[in-house]
Structure 1
Amino acid sequence: MRDLHLAGRSPIYASDGAAATSHPLASQAAIECLKAGGTAIDAAITASAVLAVVEPAMTGIGGDCFVLMSKGGSAEIIAYNGNGAAAMKAEAGWFKERGITAIAPDSVHAITVPGAIEAWCRLAQDHGRFGIDQLLRPAIHYAEHGFPVAPRVAHDWEQDAEKLARNPAAAASYLVAGKAPRIGDVVRLPLLARTLTEIAAKGAAGFYQGWVAEDIATAIQALGGLVDTADLARHRGDYVTPISTSYGGIRLWECPPPGQGLTALLMLNILKAAGPEKSGADPLGPDRFHLQLEAAKLAYRERNAHIADPAFARVPVAGLLSDSHAAALAGLIRMDRSLDLGAVGSFPKHPDTIYLTVVDRDRNAVSFINSIYYGFGSGIMAPKSGVLLQNRGACFQLDPAHPNCIGPGKRSMHTIIPAMVTEGDRAIMPFGVMGGDYQPVGQVHALTAMLECGLDPQEAMDLPRAFYEDGVISVERGIPQKTIEALRARGHRVEPAGDPLGGGQAIRIDWQRGVLIAGSDPRKDGCALGY
């Protein structure tokens, strides 16, 4: 239990249902959906749609989503891959001929087909009680009538004002006299409301066909991009087989490649092979950070070399997750000094994405993540529909020899990863830690804090974080100075983090007492609610 003398918040305890999101309006909408008789997936889609309006730097209907689900608390996990692909004209040679050697995050070529809306509609149809029209009502309300800008939302908005200003349509909708709105300003998004209403009436066809699709394709092609209406009409998400590993009596589940969830599993395998006892009992101690960050270096190197769209490349999942591979990697770790791997080739870190989780009274559990990648995605908005378009294509390589090289209809390596924990024959915790490349490290940091240090979900989300990238460990305020000095003594280059690292939510299912225990990350504006 937390020290009640100190600032902080308790986890919420509830019996009938719980939701944890990165914005209070979304958490409230999810609970209202549950109380009205909706399932966990109904509530999750409702919350995600609200977040697409009220947290526009982090997510939107122009992005992707991935979902893990447990029906009735079963350990049989359902996974849905809701990410879109590159245009069918996106040949690697096309970029080479034009002297393009990398896909910049603010380039029109970073725009891939949005996958979120198809996923929302498909999952609602297959696992919900309500139609997409009912699920989108709260989001339409906030887009049409307005919402007050929350503090973290205002911070993110201001950081991306310059990007938005470069696109006239985005500037007209998302800036006020050329500037980001301030905390507490009420923002209305009538174009987005109109598009959400179209989707409510026609389902996925209202987005991937008709005037919305034409508006999206026209906006992209006007800037020299390749995505066209046929690419949008062609899009379908997929139910996929989740992947997992065991650790400390539980099993962690992830979506398979092209998502980077394998990275978190490999990290756990390396830690298990190295010996969890080496981490020590102190959640903020140098041994724990050292061991996890060394495991991260090794796991991210494997990620960057192998993870790609399995429909186009062989991704050796079984080999990467084998005990022998983990043991070989763990054998490289020294507790007295850091590994010098240099830059492991990760993508620039960023705090963007939303993650949410919902558990209902029937113990259907949903782990749900939605993103437009960087803040406000590409910064390019379709002018009639108000759809901000993601820049997920910046994850592609342009080297034809790399498995993650761009190609027609190919899906890029993807950073957003929902997680699910099972124990025996039951799901015990949907959770996730958002924030681009940081997500595998964040999942491992939070999960091991709960398993090995006895922290509850809220305490685990509150815990200060560190992340290794390009030879530097970024540390949040709150990590003890003695830990920082001990890491430096082992050869780590340690610097203060700029923005906080990611966000996150979790709901623990206490089956014995019939209780849900939920926490929400203080790095965002959100909260956990239950009833």
Structure 2
Amino acid sequence: MKRFYTLLFPFLFTLILIPVETLQAQIDREAGNLISTRSEVIAQRGMVATSQPLATQVGLEILRNGGNAIDAAIGANAAMGLMEPTGNGIGGDLFAIIWHAESQQLYALNASGRSPRGLSYERLMKILEEKGENSIPAYDLLSVSVPGAVDGWFEMHERFGSVDMSDILSEPIWYAENGFPVSEAISAAWRRSVPFLKTQPGAFEETFTIDGEGPEKGEVFRNPDLGNTFRLLAEQGRDAFYRGEIARKIDIWMKENNGYLRYEDFDKHESEWVEPQTVNYRGYDVYQVGGNVQGTAVLQILNILEGFDLSETGFGTTETLHLMIEAKKLAFEDRAKHYADPAFHDVPYDKLLSKEYAAERRELIGDRARRDLTTGVEVLEDGDTIYMTTADEEGNMVSLIQSNFRGMGTGFVVPGTGFSFQNRGELFSLDPNHPNVYAPGKRPFHTIIPGFLMKDGKPIMAFGNMGGGYQPIGHVSILTNIVDFGMNVQQAGDAFRWEHSGSTQPTDALSDKLTDTGQVSIESGVSFEVVQALRQMGHDVQIGDSFFGRFQAIMRDHEKGVYFGASESRVDGQAAGY
């Protein structure tokens, strides 16, 4: 024992002499990084980041075999629908922002589906009255809109793809037919969903369970029906889904089960290339998809925050968190009143995204949590999703998000197809005066948003996170962590997160407004002193007990000629390059 203390004393004496900050850095990580749990991934020729490592490898394989970032995004997304059906699949919708290196332009794609053309508002309201419902139920055939993801793939491929779709889908087909080991977080979500969804009409149980249960971690799962659907797409193109065998199967099944989608809804479906919405934040151009999706909220929050010196107030401080929470509340009241299908409603971007309007809204932020907010523009949540991003040697970059909405969607599976329908139709308002009110052939409000960052005309970062209504907060957090607080791309996602719920929703009545402070949830990395100070300012704060999303990102360093990749460290994700 004496010899032990003799050996220990010099070490303890050394610790006393080392500054605490240095000691923490040396003990915690070799790189001296106290925020991040892993290093960035760095590569020159290509990068893929998804929330399932095998799907990441599918994308990388496509890049290695001569495909570009667009091809890799399609292949990886197909693999994700197979491997993470708890968040996405071809029964859902898709949005993407693409930097095309050859044309040196940024493109945005809205590949979301529309409500049944044969279901009128009046008939919908009568059906809801008969069911005793005052909103569109999540797990009902009323919530099913046309799946837009497959059309999104073919739109992207037709415009920018470089290899055959049969090559892109070959690995997803192999995994569907031969199986893949289910990863940990996905298994947990899958097993939670099965007990309820296997009671839905259709082929959910035979498609998505093993002996009636969700697959365990590491268990090999196969979906040959989805593999067959992928084969039809590879051989016959988009028409197999929207005008051929798959559309006919869906039409028959819907009629037999009192559903509302028809062959005509698929035949007339089309995606839309749209002009991305943008604002400049401290010299960086931030891009989002607008219209019937909440990306505009990211831009509104940033406009408001730009009037405060966040680098001075600091990351994770009481003042910074208060400003961010209040800015979110302000933007979400506009989100609840104005974001809707632009084919049915003229979204007032000129006002919502103006710096003048941001200054007006900023004046509403005081030193207490507000509880009395609505939109400042006159009017004439929980969801599971996947976010992924790809980049290639030519400089193409893809920011893509895809979703079933509620986890595995509705659970309605047409026998032989291998996928579950989304329940996006749940997100229509029933207020006849609301811009987001239900109408036949209309796209509902969406929560899923891809993000893109540029500076001086050059692409800097494709980024995003899943997580329902949390997503705008996540985007703002990632961007401010990088721009204001100097974090690298992995640190930006690993830093502790916050969430605010209780804002007015796009499904509410037009007259509704925020009438209390809502609920603030913060991950456990925040200090107790900050929590107490926020509570003293009137915020209702809890630690954890919320969902804070999952992120991926790829950043391009033009000077060094490399990509920096990052992926969610809390669950199964992987960024990989070559």
Which TM-score applies when normalising by structure 1?
0.95
Task: Give the CA deviation at 1:276.
Answer: 3.0
Counterpart CA distance in 2 for 1:390 and 1:146 is 24
Query: Where does residue 530 of structure 2 map in the other structure?
Result: 483
Query: Where does residue 351 of structure 2 map in the other structure?
Result: 319
Instruction: Tell me if 1:59 matches 2:84.
Output: no
Counterpart CA distance in 1 for 2:546 and 2:73 is 27
Equivalenced residues, count: 524
Query: Where does residue 519 of structure 2 map in the other structure?
Result: 472
Note if contact 1:297-1:341 (Cα within 8 Å) is conserved in structure 2. Answer: no
The one-letter amino acid of 1:196's match is F
Distance 1:12 1:111, change over 3 A: same
Query: Where does residue 4 of structure 1 map in the other structure?
Result: 29
Query: Where does residue 221 of structure 2 map in the other structure?
Result: 187
Note if contact 1:74-1:427 (Cα within 8 Å) is conserved in structure 2. Answer: no
Which one of the candidate residues 458, 464, 468 is aligned to 1:432?
464
* Alpha-carbon displacement from aligned partner over 1:245-280 (angstroms, at most 9, x marks no partner): 00011010011211111010001011113x133872
SS at match of 1:408: coil
Distance 1:36 1:153, change over 3 A: same
Query: Where does residue 265 of structure 2 map in the other structure?
Result: 231
Which one of the candidate residues 526, 537, 540 is aligned to 1:493?
540
Instruction: Tell me if 1:372 matches 2:404.
Output: yes
Which has the higher mean CA deviation after the structures are superposed, 520-529 or 112-121?
520-529
* Alpha-carbon displacement from aligned partner over 1:90-131 (angstroms, at most 9, x marks no partner): 321112222143112111111100000011012112101112
Task: Give the CA deviation at 1:476.
Answer: 2.2
Counterpart CA distance in 2 for 1:380 and 1:15 is 43
Which has the higher mean CA deviation after the structures are superposed, 49-58 or 478-487?
478-487
Which has the higher mean CA deviation after the structures are superposed, 317-326 or 40-49?
317-326
Counterpart CA distance in 2 for 1:112 and 1:505 is 27
Which has the higher mean CA deviation after the structures are superposed, 17-26 or 483-492?
483-492
Mapping for residues 48-197 of structure 1, pairs under 5 Å: 48-72=77-101, 76-98=105-127, 99=129, 100-167=133-200, 168-197=202-231
Task: Give the CA deviation at 1:342.
Answer: 7.9
The one-letter amino acid of 1:330's match is R
Note if contact 2:292-2:445 (Cα within 8 Å) is conserved in structure 1. Answer: yes
Note if contact 2:292-2:443 (Cα within 8 Å) is conserved in structure 1. Answer: yes
Instruction: Tell me if 1:205 matches 2:239.
Output: yes
* Alpha-carbon displacement from aligned partner over 1:346-387 (angstroms, at most 9, x marks no partner): xx223x111111111111111111111111011111112122
* Alpha-carbon displacement from aligned partner over 1:312-333 (angstroms, at most 9, x marks no partner): 1121111111112111111111
Task: Give the CA deviation at 1:176.
Answer: 2.5
Task: Give the CA deviation at 1:306.
Answer: 0.6
Distance 1:279 1:321, change over 3 A: farther
Mapping for residues 514-525 of structure 1, pairs under 5 Å: 514-525=561-572
The one-letter amino acid of 1:384's match is G
Task: Give the CA deviation at 1:224.
Answer: 2.5
The one-letter amino acid of 2:322's match is H
Which one of the candidate residues 530, 551, 558 is aligned to 1:504?
551
Task: Give the CA deviation at 1:138.
Answer: 1.3
Distance 1:181 1:449, change over 3 A: same
Which one of the candidate residues 221, 243, 258 is aligned to 2:277?
243
Note if contact 2:310-2:484 (Cα within 8 Å) is conserved in structure 1. Answer: no
Task: Give the CA deviation at 1:343.
Answer: 11
Note if contact 2:62-2:75 (Cα within 8 Å) is conserved in structure 1. Answer: yes
Mapping for residues 329-340 of structure 1, pairs under 5 Å: 329-334=361-366, 336-340=367-371
Which has the higher mean CA deviation after the structures are superposed, 488-497 or 59-68?
488-497
The one-letter amino acid of 2:471's match is Q
Task: Give the CA deviation at 1:162.
Answer: 2.4
Which one of the candidate residues 64, 72, 76 is aligned to 1:35?
64
Distance 1:386 1:425, change over 3 A: same
Note if contact 2:310-2:320 (Cα within 8 Å) is conserved in structure 1. Answer: no
Task: Give the CA deviation at 1:337.
Answer: 1.5
Task: Give the CA deviation at 1:73.
Answer: 8.3
Note if contact 1:164-1:175 (Cα within 8 Å) is conserved in structure 2. Answer: no
Task: Give the CA deviation at 1:163.
Answer: 2.7
* Alpha-carbon displacement from aligned partner over 1:433-456 (angstroms, at most 9, x marks no partner): 111111111000011001111111
Q: Which runs of 5+ in 2 are unaligned?
A: 1-24, 376-380, 503-517
The one-letter amino acid of 1:87's match is P
Which has the higher mean CA deviation after the structures are superposed, 159-168 or 484-493?
159-168
Note if contact 2:334-2:374 (Cα within 8 Å) is conserved in structure 1. Answer: no
Counterpart CA distance in 2 for 1:278 and 1:337 is 21
Structure with higher Rg: it is: 2
Note if contact 2:291-2:339 (Cα within 8 Å) is conserved in structure 1. Answer: yes
Which one of the candidate residues 274, 279, 286 is aligned to 2:318?
286
Counterpart CA distance in 2 for 1:443 and 1:32 is 29
SS at match of 1:27: helix
Query: Where does residue 530 of structure 1 map in the other structure?
Result: 577
Task: Give the CA deviation at 1:461.
Answer: 0.9
* Alpha-carbon displacement from aligned partner over 1:158-202 (angstroms, at most 9, x marks no partner): 221223222251122212333211111111111111111111111
SS at match of 1:433: strand
Counterpart CA distance in 1 for 2:89 and 2:213 is 20
Instruction: Tell me if 1:411 matches 2:443.
Output: yes
* Alpha-carbon displacement from aligned partner over 1:198-247 (angstroms, at most 9, x marks no partner): 11111101111222112223333433321101101111101111110000
Note if contact 1:242-1:255 (Cα within 8 Å) is conserved in structure 2. Answer: yes
Task: Give the CA deviation at 1:287.
Answer: 2.0
Note if contact 1:84-1:411 (Cα within 8 Å) is conserved in structure 2. Answer: yes
Counterpart CA distance in 2 for 1:396 and 1:498 is 28
* Alpha-carbon displacement from aligned partner over 1:123-147 (angstroms, at most 9, x marks no partner): 1121011122111111111111011
Which one of the candidate residues 303, 310, 328 is aligned to 1:277?
310
Counterpart CA distance in 2 for 1:363 and 1:233 is 35
Counterpart CA distance in 2 for 1:522 and 1:221 is 44
RMSD between aligned residues: 1.8
Task: Give the CA deviation at 1:404.
Answer: 0.3
Which one of the candidate residues 235, 252, 257 is aligned to 1:218?
252
Query: Where does residue 419 of structure 2 map in the other structure?
Result: 387
Counterpart CA distance in 2 for 1:341 and 1:23 is 42
Counterpart CA distance in 2 for 1:431 and 1:383 is 36
SS at match of 1:378: coil
The one-letter amino acid of 1:138's match is E
